[in-house]
């Protein structure tokens, strides 16, 4: 089967190159047949990538260790659920995932535009085919996921235990879908520039793909944060790690793009800005993929030293230089159709929002690449840490949240003074009441920046609620519908607008959680013996007893040994029993001995989090098993040649020894207020995006013939 | 051997699919239907703008004068698109 997989890659590469060539020939010669042939070639690449993925996934599910990738990234005892995800835990497998998603997205957009954008689409096809060819070339020439071993090992190395988490199953595909999705508007922007059709047609055709990409990338980032919080054992959700930043940067510029294309659609403005934004977004998406692969920056996520860093860098350089040259050569075609009517207009605020988002991206880029910059300039690798990132990004985040409140209430073109007063009166009043209430009843004043964020969040939520209420009231005035129906109709008829507002509300709620949990969390690191206690936030926590078990991995990750603790947390009358633990996975290092290898492999924290709308109590334990070493050494010497059953009994006895006489263990406990609202806000954000993406009834084709003005009125009253 | 056989079979399959339009042709150039689709998209976008402005007015964000001016401009642009659509329809379905 590996032969079939490799054949799919080679034929896929040749087909992608053909697609690029046929599309370019068709575009230049006017041959429709060549253009259609090129488009069909992209469909074929998609079919080949689906086949290749099925071949590789079936090898993982069968534990076919003749595949090098399976031997290195899976094992017979890896749970089936995680065997399925192991493909994208490896570098070669994630390249195949990129190519698969790329070909599927390309096929979808080319099918959707098969009867439109006749001039732009062939060039876009060539660009998409070129990108697909690059990833296929990487696999064919350097990182073939179908490489086989001359002698298949009996057992595989197993999936990295840190990746055995449900969020990790969908986090990478989500991120990659986001990265890949932005290649669609990028390709059509390049096509539009080549044929000098720089109006809004390419935006209308690809806007939904940009939104899908943005949604998936955002969801991927959220899942990554959730995984970090619930799996990594340090208690945070965002560490400003280079790979985290690499996914955030294209999302920020993508956010700017999604806002500014509305200005081009409605006013014909910001054309240079929009093509520049989408080029930047795509370059950052490539950079994100490159950072994970290159190993040039230290990251807990990176795949380490890679053989394809240079190729990625070369491709990124080609994209930057080619796109920049094209934009510069088309500056005359990119002139705006209109000018800004007023600074108090939605387009003006979108421009400010764009500048803040780009500024945020620039500072994150600077901080992420500072180690490389400092090394290049001074010879010493210096880095900036989370405090630096928090300091420089917090003011910009505050401005963004404020803009999320202002944008929805300001109309396009120009706002009247009376309209602004009417729109802001209630939200500002609610914000003032929020400020007074927070100062009077909480300790928010201890963190002024968090206090300002809470006020801005109240502003956004009031604005969104008010918009929904006013819109529903206006609809009721026209239709006389009851309130729930009027609300539903309002949203259904204006999905982009109200989906967008819901996204704003989600972002605000997310920042509420970020501000509260960063400013007011209480973290304690202690080392305790059973029976001892400590305080974390409002909780009195007691180490009740140690736990040590064989084959009782409650998280279902396939860990044979689990050491942990039972904690009792008391806050007033509220009592919680917590069971943080640490899973131990067998090492493949034979020198550790037949018994020792079960204690010297990788270990992961299984944190116990008590989620709550008001606060989370997060606990982790690091058991000290050093005192078991003499017993392990002795068992290694005595039971080397014993049967597996005997060795299992010996391991259980050693584990029992820890349970009976545990040394002090290290604990981390965090009392973190409102952190759950980060995930709730993220979910609302995604729901809003889905509403905005969903096609509205008006998108359906209608053919009505009548006198134009009457026809216009009639058609507008429909849908 | 498996690899070579797979390459040959897949290449033959792909070649048959991608060369079909070149061998059998793709029918007559349907440029008008392409234009129609693009104009329909432009029309829907313009309608959306008119509805947005109407909603902004009904919600009190736009003054009556501003709304009237914006609405007049948008409707004129929409009528232009409708005229172009009728031209395309006339070319596609000549009476």
Phi and psi, residue B94, nearest 5°:
-60, 135
- Show the tokens assigned to A474: 């206006």
Residue of B22 and A709 predicted with greater confidence: B22
Would you say residue A494 has pLDDT above 50? yes
User: Which residue is it, tokens 């084709």?
Assistant: A701
Nearest CA in chain B to A51: B10
Model pLDDT, residue A298 = 62
When divided into structural domains, chain A yields a total of 4
Model pLDDT, residue A700 = 46
- Is position A76 within any domain? yes
**Cβ separation of A698 and B25 shorter than 8 Å?**
no
- Is position A682 within any domain? no
Of A7, A478, A703, the CB nearest to B6: A7
Asked whether residue A201 falls in the same domain as residue A281, the answer is: yes
Residues in A closer than 8 angstroms to B38, CB to CB, are: 116-117, 201
pLDDT tens profile A372-424: 888 777 777 777 889 999 999 999 999 999 999 999 889 888 888 888 888 89
Asked whether residue A361 falls in the same domain as residue A267, the answer is: yes
Would you say residue A279 has pLDDT above 60? yes
Please state the rounded mean pLDDT for residues A358-367: 96
Model pLDDT, residue A704 = 40
pLDDT tens profile A88-105: 888 889 899 999 999 999
Asked whether residue A324 falls in the same domain as residue A257, the answer is: yes
Residues in A closer than 8 angstroms to B53, CB to CB, are: 411-412
Phi and psi, residue A442, nearest 5°:
-135, 175
**What kind and span of H or E run contains A388?**
helix A386-409
Please state the rounded mean pLDDT for residues A689-705: 67
Asked whether residue A413 falls in the same domain as residue A537, the answer is: no
Residues in A closer than 8 angstroms to B58, CB to CB, are: 474, 477-478
Closest by CA to A457, choosing from A397, A517, A519, is A397
Nearest CA in chain A to B78: A712
B28 CB within 8 Å of a chain A CB: no
- Confidence tier at A156 by pLDDT (50, 70, 90): confident
- Is position A355 within any domain? yes
Residues in B closer than 8 angstroms to A25, CB to CB, are: none
Would you say residue A618 has pLDDT above 80? yes
d(C-alpha A184, C-alpha A111), whole Å: 13
Asked whether residue A287 falls in the same domain as residue A357, the answer is: yes
Instruction: Evaluate whether A9 touches A146 at the Cβ level (below 8 Å).
Output: yes
User: Which residue is it, tokens 């509305």?
Assistant: A262
Model pLDDT, residue B95 = 42
Model pLDDT, residue A706 = 42
pLDDT tens profile A636-659: 888 888 888 898 899 999 999 999
pLDDT tens profile A157-185: 888 787 787 877 788 889 999 999 999 99
For chain B, residues with pLDDT lower than 50 are: 94-95
Asked whether residue A437 falls in the same domain as residue A491, the answer is: yes
Of B25, B41, B86, the CB nearest to A204: B41
pLDDT tens profile B16-41: 999 999 998 876 655 666 677 778 88
Of chain A residues 599-618, which have a CB less than 8 A from chain B? none
**Cβ separation of A411 and B41 shorter than 8 Å?**
no
Residues in B closer than 8 angstroms to A3, CB to CB, are: 1-6
Q: How far A472 CA sits from the closest chain B CA (Å)? A: 9
Q: How far, in Å, are A163, A346, A379 from residue A67 at the CA level?
A: 20, 56, 42
d(C-alpha A517, C-alpha A457), whole Å: 15
Model pLDDT, residue A249 = 97
Q: How far, in Å, are A259, A464, A610, A687 from residue A693 at the CA level?
A: 14, 19, 34, 10
Please state the rounded mean pLDDT for residues A495-524: 95
Model pLDDT, residue A216 = 96
Return the ∠ at Cα A633 (arms to A628 and A634), rounded to 5°.
100
Would you say residue A691 has pLDDT above 80? yes
Residues in A closer than 8 angstroms to B28, CB to CB, are: none
- Is position A526 within any domain? yes
A498 CB within 8 Å of a chain B CB: no
Test mutation, B82, B84, B95, chain A, max A CBs within 10 A? B82
Please state the rounded mean pLDDT for residues A469-483: 88
- Show the tokens assigned to A134: 């690059």
Model pLDDT, residue A149 = 93
- Show the tokens assigned to B22: 């070149």
Instruction: Evaluate whether B42 touches B81 at the Cβ level (below 8 Å).
Output: yes
Model pLDDT, residue A250 = 97
Model pLDDT, residue A384 = 84
Please state the rounded mean pLDDT for residues A566-572: 95
Model pLDDT, residue A296 = 64
Model pLDDT, residue B84 = 86
Domain-terminating residue out of A491, A520, A549: A520
Helices within A30-119 (DSSP H only): 32-62, 68-73, 80-83, 91-112
Q: How far A7 CA sits from the closest chain B CA (Å)? A: 5
**What kind and span of H or E run contains A669?**
strand A665-673
d(C-alpha A5, C-alpha A58), whole Å: 11
* Helices and strands, number each (H, E), in chain A: 22, 10
Asked whether residue A343 falls in the same domain as residue A412, the answer is: no
- Confidence tier at A16 by pLDDT (50, 70, 90): very high
- Is position A391 within any domain? no
Please state the rounded mean pLDDT for residues A292-309: 63
Model pLDDT, residue B28 = 60
Q: How far A65 CA sits from the closest chain B CA (Å)? A: 18
The domain spanning residue A19 has which CATH number? 1.20.120
Please state the rounded mean pLDDT for residues A626-635: 89
Model pLDDT, residue A116 = 83
- How many CB pairs below 8 Å do chains A and B form together? 149
Q: How far, in Å, are A198, A661, B48, B85, B87 from residue B31 at the CA level?
A: 20, 83, 26, 13, 13
Domain-terminating residue out of A486, A520, A554: A520
Please state the rounded mean pLDDT for residues A45-55: 97
Of chain A, the end-to-end C-alpha distance in Å amounts to 52
Residue of A152 and A14 predicted with greater confidence: A14
Of B17, B58, B61, the CB nearest to A423: B61
Asked whether residue A18 falls in the same domain as residue A78, the answer is: yes
Model pLDDT, residue A702 = 43
- Show the tokens assigned to B65: 């004068």
B95 CB within 8 Å of a chain A CB: no
- Is position A699 within any domain? no
- Is position A394 within any domain? no
Rg of chain B's alpha carbons, rounded to an integer?
A: 25
**Cβ separation of B58 and A201 shorter than 8 Å?**
no
d(C-alpha A425, C-alpha A452), whole Å: 19
Query: Which domain range does residue A434 map to?
Result: 405-520
How are beta strands A603-606 and A608-610 bridged, if at all?
unpaired
Nearest CA in chain A to B36: A116
Would you say residue A12 has pLDDT above 90? yes
Q: In this predicted structure, which of A25-39, A280-294, A298-312, A337-351 has the lowest mean pLDDT?
A: A298-312
**Cβ separation of B21 and A117 shorter than 8 Å?**
no
Model pLDDT, residue A703 = 41
Of A15, A118, A715, the CB nearest to B34: A118
pLDDT tens profile A322-338: 999 999 999 988 887 77
Test mutation, B28, B51, B56, chain A, max A CBs within 10 A? B56
How many Cβ atoms from other residues are within 10 Å of residue A709's Cβ?
13
**Cβ separation of B61 and A494 shorter than 8 Å?**
no
Model pLDDT, residue A306 = 65
Domain-terminating residue out of A162, A182, A198: A162
Model pLDDT, residue B33 = 66
Asked whether residue A92 falls in the same domain as residue A140, the answer is: yes
Name the DSSP letter for residue A148. B
B61 CB within 8 Å of a chain A CB: yes
What average pLDDT is seen over chain A?
90
Asked whether residue A90 falls in the same domain as residue A143, the answer is: yes
Model pLDDT, residue A682 = 97
- Confidence tier at A295 by pLDDT (50, 70, 90): low
A140 CB within 8 Å of a chain B CB: no
Closest by CA to A166, choosing from A585, A555, A601, is A555
Of A33, A413, A474, the CB nearest to B55: A474
- Is position A653 within any domain? yes
Nearest CA in chain A to B55: A471
**Cβ separation of A3 and B2 shorter than 8 Å?**
yes
Q: Three-state DSSP class for A541?
A: strand
Instruction: Evaluate whether B44 touches A204 at the Cβ level (below 8 Å).
Output: no
Asked whether residue A176 falls in the same domain as residue A148, the answer is: no
Test mutation, B30, B36, B41, B61, chain A, max A CBs within 10 A? B61
User: Which residue is it, tokens 């819109």?
Assistant: A471
**Cβ separation of A701 and B48 shorter than 8 Å?**
no
Share of chain A above pLDDT 90, in %: 63
Binning chain A into helix, strand and coil, the percentages to the nearest 5 are: 65, 10, 25
Of chain A residues 621-640, which have a CB less than 8 A from chain B? none
**Cβ separation of B58 and A474 shorter than 8 Å?**
yes
B49 CB within 8 Å of a chain A CB: yes
What are residue A578's DSSP bridge partners? A567
- Show the tokens assigned to A21: 């060539």
* Helices and strands, number each (H, E), in chain B: 3, 0
Model pLDDT, residue A529 = 95
Would you say residue A714 has pLDDT above 70? no
Q: Three-state DSSP class for A196?
A: coil
Asked whether residue A208 falls in the same domain as residue A321, the answer is: yes
d(C-alpha A217, C-alpha A250), whole Å: 9
Q: How far A663 CA sits from the closest chain B CA (Å)? A: 58
Q: Three-state DSSP class for A707?
A: coil
Of A33, A48, A494, the CB nearest to B55: A494
Nearest CA in chain B to A698: B44
pTM: 0.89
Please state the rounded mean pLDDT for residues A293-311: 65
């Amino acid at each position: 089967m590996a032969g079939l997989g490799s054949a799919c890659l080679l034929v896929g590469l040749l087909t992608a190159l053909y697609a690029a060539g046929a599309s370019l020939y068709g575009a230049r010669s006017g041959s429709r047949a060549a253009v259609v042939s090129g488009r069909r070639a992209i469909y074929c690449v998609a079919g080949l990538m689906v086949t290749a993925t099925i071949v590789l996934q079936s090898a993982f599910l069968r534990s076919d260790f003749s595949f090098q990738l399976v031997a290195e990234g899976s094992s017979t005892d890896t749970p089936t659920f995680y065997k399925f995800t192991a493909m994208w835990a490896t570098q070669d497998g994630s390249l195949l995932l990129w190519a698969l998603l790329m070909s599927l997205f390309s096929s979808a957009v080319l099918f959707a535009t098969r009867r439109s954008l006749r001039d732009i689409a062939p060039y876009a096809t060539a660009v998409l085919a070129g990108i697909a060819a690059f990833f296929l070339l990487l696999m064919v020439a350097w990182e073939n996921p179908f490489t086989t071993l001359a002698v298949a090992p009996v057992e595989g190395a197993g999936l990295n235990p840190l990746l055995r988490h449900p969020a990790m199953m969908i986090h990478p595909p989500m991120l990659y879908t986001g990265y890949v999705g932005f290649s669609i508007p990028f390709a059509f922007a390049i096509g539009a520039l080549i044929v000098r059709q720089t109006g809004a047609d390419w935006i209308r055709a690809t806007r939904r793909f940009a939104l899908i990409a943005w949604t998936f990338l955002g969801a991927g980032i959220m899942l990554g944060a959730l995984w970090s919080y619930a799996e990594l054992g340090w208690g945070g959700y965002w560490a400003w790690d280079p790979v985290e930043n690499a996914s955030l940067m294209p999302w920020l510029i993508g956010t700017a793009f999604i806002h500014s294309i509305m200005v081009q659609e409605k006013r014909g403005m910001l054309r240079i800005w929009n093509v520049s934004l989408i080029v930047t977004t795509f370059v950052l998406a490539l950079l994100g993929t490159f950072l994970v692969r290159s190993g040039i920056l230290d990251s807990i996520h990176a795949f380490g030293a890679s053989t394809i860093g240079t190729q990625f860098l070369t491709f990124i350089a080609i994209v930057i230089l080619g796109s920049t040259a094209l934009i510069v050569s088309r500056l005359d075609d990119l002139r705006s159709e209109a000018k800004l009517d007023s600074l108090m207009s939605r387009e003006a605020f979108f421009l400010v929002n764009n500048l803040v988002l780009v500024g945020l991206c620039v500072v994150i880029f600077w901080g992420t690449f500072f180690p490389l910059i400092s090394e290049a300039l001074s010879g010493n690798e210096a880095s900036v840490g989370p405090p630096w990132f928090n300091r420089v990004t917090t003011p910009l985040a505050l401005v963004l949240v404020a803009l999320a409140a202002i944008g929805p209430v300001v109309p396009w073109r120009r706002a009247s003074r009376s309209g602004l007063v009417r729109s802001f009166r209630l939200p500002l009043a609610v914000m003032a009441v929020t400020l007074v209430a927070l100062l009077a009843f909480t300790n928010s004043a201890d963190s002024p920046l968090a206090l300002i964020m809470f006020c801005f969040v109240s502003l956004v939520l009031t604005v969104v609620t008010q918009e929904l209420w006013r819109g529903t009231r206006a609809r009721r005035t026209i239709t006389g519908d009851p309130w729930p129906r009027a609300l539903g109709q309002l949203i259904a008829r204006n999905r982009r607008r109200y989906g967008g507002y819901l996204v704003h509300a989600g972002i605000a709620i997310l920042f509420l959680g970020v501000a509260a949990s960063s400013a007011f969390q209480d973290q304690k690191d202690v080392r305790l013996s059973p029976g001892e206690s400590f305080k974390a936030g409002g909780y009195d926590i007691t180490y009740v007893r140690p736990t040590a078990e064989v084959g009782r991995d409650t998280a279902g990750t396939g860990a044979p040994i689990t050491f942990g603790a039972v904690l009792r947390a008391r806050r007033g009358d509220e009592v919680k029993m917590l069971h943080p633990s640490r899973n131990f996975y067998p090492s493949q290092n034979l020198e550790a001995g037949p018994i020792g290898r079960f204690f010297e492999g990788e270990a992961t924290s299984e944190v116990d989090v008590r989620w709550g709308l008001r606060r989370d109590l997060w606990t982790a334990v690091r058991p000290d098993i050093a005192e078991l070493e003499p017993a392990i050494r002795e068992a290694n010497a005595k039971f080397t040649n014993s049967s597996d059953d005997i060795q299992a009994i010996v391991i259980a006895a050693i584990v029992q020894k820890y349970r009976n006489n545990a040394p002090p263990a290290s604990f981390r406990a965090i009392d973190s207020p409102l952190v759950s609202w980060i995930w709730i806000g993220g979910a609302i954000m995604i729901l809003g995006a889905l509403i905005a993406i969903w096609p509205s009834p008006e998108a359906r084709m209608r053919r009505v013939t009548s006198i134009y003005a009457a026809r216009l009125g009639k058609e507008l009253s429909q849908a | 051997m498996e690899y070579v056989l797979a390459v040959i079979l897949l290449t033959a399959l792909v070649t048959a699919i991608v060369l079909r339009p070149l061998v059998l042709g793709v029918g007559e150039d349907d440029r008008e239907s392409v234009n129609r689709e693009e104009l329909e998209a432009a029309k829907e976008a313009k309608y959306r703008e008119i509805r947005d402005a109407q909603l902004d007015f009904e919600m009190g964000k736009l003054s009556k004068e501003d709304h009237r001016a914006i609405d007049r401009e948008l409707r004129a642009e929409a009528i232009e698109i409708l005229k172009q659509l009728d031209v395309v329809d006339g070319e596609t379905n000549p009476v």
